[in-house]
Amino acid sequence: MRDAHGHRQRKLAWSGPSNFNSTEQNPTVCAPGTYTLVVTGSNGCTSTATAGWADMSPPQPLAGPSPAATSA
């Protein structure tokens, strides 16, 4: 089967951390972790792939004096 644009029909099913689910081709994710994509073709055949995403943002500095800098 083909869609209105002549492309073969397929079903996309993404799943991941924090109950993430999407049927978009290029979903936006917010939580680090492992995401799984299952593609189902119009003939019923499936293919599965996984992708990992790690939060690589730098650590945030803590405000306040160092414990060694305080006096009793």
In a domain, 64, yes or no: no
Structural element, H or E, at residue 42: none
In a domain, 9, yes or no: yes
The residue segments making up the domain with residue 7 are 1-38
Which backbone phi and psi does 21 adopt, to 5 degrees? -145, 140
Find out whether 43 and 63 touch, Cβ atoms under 8 Å: no
**Number of structural domains in the chain:** 1
Structural element, H or E, at residue 51: strand 46-53
Q: 13 or 6, which is more confident? A: 13
Q: What is the mean pLDDT of residues 36-64?
A: 87
Q: Tokens 């917010």 identify what position?
A: 30
In a domain, 55, yes or no: no
In a domain, 70, yes or no: no
In a domain, 28, yes or no: yes
In a domain, 26, yes or no: yes
So what's the pLDDT on residue 4? 65
Q: What is the mean pLDDT of residues 23-52?
A: 93
